[in-house]
A and B are shown apart, each in its own frame.
Chain A
Amino acid sequence: MSITEATSNSVEDSNTHTKNHLNLVKLYLAIGILVYALMMIAGVALRAAQGASYLDMNPQLFYQIMTLHGAGMVGVTGLAGLAVNWYFLSRHVLLSTKIFLSALLLSLIAVAMIIGSILIGKFAAGWTFLYPLPAKSLGIWSIASAVTFAAGLLVLGVAFLLVYLDMAIAISKKYGNLTRGLGLHMLFGRAPVDTSHPTTVVASSMVIIVNVAGIAVGAVVLIMTIANLISPAIAPDALLMKHLIYFFGHVFINASIYSAITAVYEILPKYTRRPWTVSKPFLAAWFAATFMVMAVYPHHLLMDFAMPPWAAIAGQIISYTSGIPVLVVTAFGGLTLVYRSGIRWDACSSLLVLGLFGWAAGVVPAVIDGMIRVNMVMHNTLWVPGHFHFYLILGMLPMVLGFAAYLTTNGEQGKSNKIPVYIYAAGGITLCMSFLVSGSLSIPRRFAVHQESWQWLGNVGAIAGTTVLVGTLLIALPILFRLPGATLSAAR
């Protein structure tokens, strides 16, 4: 074989290779957007049921739908974040499409198990499966359905684990190891800061570290849950289980936004024509966040009086500061990037900046609730859904949609309509306010039936939620139609 033949062959190979990469990301996005829309309908139904004017739902069904909405949203958020992260990481290292595809198939199996356990098995203990509730159904759902739900989460964990391992190995092969991916040799070592070190690799290394730890804990705690379901005599310590469940759950949902942020790092500089490179503060922030994301979950345990006070206080302090480093670096970096850059505002750029705003503003209610004194009052009120819907609807989801818009316009700027983004944002802010105001009135969360004096807030939320849904569809439908024609290759 001549040399030219060999090179043309390998070019062809790498073309089909990158095409496979892109097609898989498209598949993830299309499925993700559809699931988001479906789960939003479920969310609107929940809020409307609490409002009691537009919908009358029996409480048993409410808790089933709430479990579905929670598990579905958390799962799809994880998958969407993974897709964004995978797309950009595969520009820098060699990732396996086979593994990415198997992860999608495994996730679909997991989703079938989870949906089956909820809709057929009537499982309704919430996506957090807080022990020992799954075993105490008072006859509403069967042991088998609770086991199926937990096993479904286990399969989902394996799916993510496969991709993270592949990413970890690819980063290690190119950069030496995960701490080098994270840039610690530049932060602490003698090495000068290499500005060509990709921001995406730093973010990915952090996400891999925290999520593999989370999945490891989940793999143990889910089996203990199942063991307790099958044999109630095996009754592990409830507080220890709570620690592990929230470590798993909190890390998992938190990491999704740190995955999606890669879209901001990679796309926004194209709009402002200014580079976004690593620097010492950037590396320090991501290094700190690696530990903090794993250490903040105790804010879920501030009310557990069996916890030693020092643990609660440490949890409070870390919760306080956890989001801050990366947030400050990213928000500041984003602002300096955008300021007087002559950025073109279209759907993609406005969604990405909305995402930054939502993330930054979403921290405020979170930090307030992280104070023990406040938590005494606010814990288990709608304040909590208020803060995480803020993060997710105004922070995480816009980043994903912005990324999808970027793909479907093939990187061309000014081509997408930004009006739907305003509709979406207006609906999102109103919905979150309906939660936050409810919370400040001490209205409990996870209540199927609300007192009459609370109900107007439910109705406001239902209307706002519908607006969010409409906004999402207006943004997403053109994306879904144009997605097959997207050509921006993922791999190098």
Chain B
Amino acid sequence: MDILTLCNMASRRLNNWQLNELPAPSTARALLVFVIMVGITPAGAMWFESSMTTHMLVQLPLLIVLGAVCYQPKAQLNSFLTRIDPLGAIAFICYTGWMLFWMLPLNLDLATIEPSVRLLKLISVPIGIGCCFRWLWHQSNAVLKCVVVFETWASVTRLGWLYIESPLQLCSSYLIGEQQRVGTLLLVISGISATVAVFYSLFGSFNKKNDSTLAKSTSNG
């Protein structure tokens, strides 16, 4: 067996990985509520926010992923959303906006001090980032999807590098050593995800089974 066949097999596995392999929305919803509750209680907040690593690389991703997984609008809401945002453009703006907002050290800082900002974080991250991402993914064509992935990757990379490079302590709650550790971790994440993306786009077998997911792609003018 040659290397191309191997790559193709592995990426076919990646292609066949369907959304229904995710946990059911109800489970995710229960988990999300749990994570939010823990995030509110003083002890839980202490644990999540005590280090920058758990705050940025555990709590926020948990909230985003659970928000995206549990998102399943009722028919009424669905048709309303389809009417106001058929292309996913509003969701795109919302998604990038909240991502940027929570990438600013100042806001992350405030969330550790100010209970109202903490609450804002616990609500806006799953909805503004997680759910919006899911809607956007559902509505948009393949090119826009790729742009979103690309931009998200680029932002993680930039942020990681900035955290490492900045001689200033960007958050008042976290020391500079911790900031640099988070930066390094972000770059590791960026490296791994770039490898996966390159592998997938080079060897993925798109015209086989995956046609249905790409069917809505490329609005041909």
A contacts, CB < 8 Å to B: 17, 20, 94-99, 101, 158, 161-162, 165-166, 168-170, 172-179, 184-185, 188-189, 209, 216, 219-220, 223-224, 227, 233-236
Contact = CB atoms under 8 A, between A and B. Distances in A.
A161 B150 contact: yes
Interface residues on B, range: 35 or more
A166 B205 contact: no
A188 B4 contact: yes
Interface stretch (B93-101, B117-125, B132-140, B161-169): B161-169
B21 interface: no
Interface in B135-194: 142-143, 146-147, 150-151, 153-154, 157-158, 161-162, 165-168, 194
Contacts of B207: 172-176
A115 B2 CA distance: 51
Contacts of B20: none
Contact of B206 (A177, A234, A235): A177
Contacts of A165: 142-143, 146-147, 150
Contact of B214 (A20, A173, A216, A223): A173
Contacts of B54: none
B221 interface: yes
A426 B126 CA distance: 65
B218 A236 contact: no
Contacts of B161: 220, 224, 236
Contact of A184 (B4, B146, B206): B4
B218 A96 contact: yes
B158 A179 contact: no
A189 B158 contact: no
A369 B167 CA distance: 39
B4 A185 contact: yes
Given A96-B218, A170-B218, A173-B206, A227 B153 contact: no
A209 B202 contact: yes
A101 B206 CA distance: 26
Nearest to B214: A173
A173 B142 CA distance: 11
Nearest to B158: A223
Interface in B1-27: 2-5, 7, 11
Contact of B150 (A189, A216, A223): A216
B203 interface: yes
Contact of A216 (B4, B7, B153): B153
A334 B112 CA distance: 67
28 contacts: A20-B221, A94-B218, A94-B220, A96-B218, A96-B219, A98-B221, A99-B221, A101-B221, A162-B143, A169-B142, A169-B206, A169-B217, A169-B218, A172-B206, A173-B217, A175-B207, A179-B4, A179-B202, A179-B203, A189-B4, A189-B5, A216-B153, A216-B194, A220-B154, A224-B158, A224-B161, A233-B166, A235-B167
Most buried by B among A94, A99, A101: A99
Contacts of A101: 221
Contact of A17 (B4, B157, B217, B220): B220
A209 B201 CA distance: 9
* Main DSSP-derived SS at the A contact region: helix
Contact of B201 (A17, A178, A235): A178
Nearest to A213: B198
Contacts of A176: 205-208
Contacts of B128: none
A185 B203 CA distance: 11
B143 A169 contact: yes
B157 to A, nearest CB: 5
B201 A189 contact: no
Nearest to A182: B202
Given A177-B206, A179-B4, A234 B166 contact: yes
The 3 closest A-B pairs by CB, nearest first: A97-B221, A98-B221, A172-B206
A234 B218 contact: no
Contact of A234 (B143, B162, B205): B162
Contacts of A168: 146, 201
Nearest to B167: A233
Most buried by A among B151, B157, B168: B157
B219 to A, nearest CB: 6
A223 B165 CA distance: 13
Contacts of A233: 166-168
A219 B201 contact: no
B116 to A, nearest CB: 29
B130 interface: no
Given A189-B2, A220-B154, A224-B161, A162 B220 contact: no
Contacts of B3: 188
Given A96-B219, A216-B194, A234-B166, 19 more contacts: A94-B218, A95-B218, A96-B218, A96-B220, A98-B219, A165-B142, A165-B146, A168-B146, A169-B143, A169-B218, A179-B7, A179-B202, A185-B4, A209-B202, A219-B150, A219-B151, A220-B161, A233-B168, A236-B161
Contacts of A17: 220-221
A227 B150 CA distance: 20
